[in-house]
Amino acid sequence: MDSSRRLAAEFIGTAWLVLGGCGAAVLAAGVPDVGIGYAGVALAFGLTVLTGAYAFGHISGAHFNPAVTLGLFAAGRFAAKDVIPYWIAQVLGGIAGAGVLYLIAGGVPGFDASAGFATNGYGDASPQHYSMMAGAVCEIVMTFMFLMIILGATSYKEPAGFAPIAIGLGLTLIHLISIPVTNTSVNPARSMGVAVVQGGVALEQLWFFWVMPLIGAGLAGFVQRWLSGHDTTAVESKM
């Protein structure tokens, strides 16, 4: 597959993830009486990944997340030369998705992105004021398990057509657990997109939501490679 098409798919898919998941949080979660709440936001993130994977998986592998790209590389299933280009496309897609969301959200009187824009945080910036240590453990473990789900579901030993369902449900579960702790990142591009719009403490803490998910993803890649032994899954860069 031509690299420009693969990068375009990553850009669009990441933009969709941010618009769908963070859009549900910004636009629908807090509506009095009929708001979707934490559970609805968790489902929205799962659905964006599920639908995005079916839409773009055959083109780019549907990473939509720098941590996923790193985890696949660590597992020996993605070429090193493609990691940085994928990261760039994902970050730009995340910012684009946040920009579209800002244009929509700004259509209601009194909207102020600096007061809340589905950003991630720890301490006073955590939805329930969880500590930095709690946030670090949460992000590392949740990203680790997200990659374990992805790597297992996309193995040739499993039915490939069902992989997006397992991955989408996995991300939903991760959000159900961790929204109160950090507002759930497990995805540096998702964190960066909305942090750029909100600014302030979200940008100050952005480094954390790069480092912790990447640690979790890297660990998962190495662990899955050891667990799988002679897994026959092809290097994804050949798609």
What was the pLDDT predicted at 233? 54
CA neighbor of 146 nearest in space, from 221, 89, 79: 221
Fold designation for 3-238: Glycerol uptake facilitator protein (1.20.1080)
Within 10 Å of residue 61's Cβ, how many Cβ atoms?
Answer: 26
State whether the Cα torsion 132-133-134-137 is positive or negative. Answer: positive
CA distance 53 to 194: 22
Q: Enumerate helices (H) and strands (E) in the chain, giving the number of each.
A: 10, 0
CA neighbor of 69 nearest in space, from 56, 86, 81: 86
Give the rounded percent of residues in the chain with a pLDDT score beyond 70.
94
Phi, psi dihedrals of residue 194, rounded to the nearest 5°:
-80, -30
Q: Is the pTM of this model over 0.75?
A: yes
* Ranges of the chain whose pLDDT falls below 50: 235-239
Residue-range domain boundaries for the chain: 3-238
For 136, the token pair is 């670090």
CA distance 176 to 187: 16
What was the pLDDT predicted at 239? 36
What was the pLDDT predicted at 30? 84
CA distance 160 to 158: 6
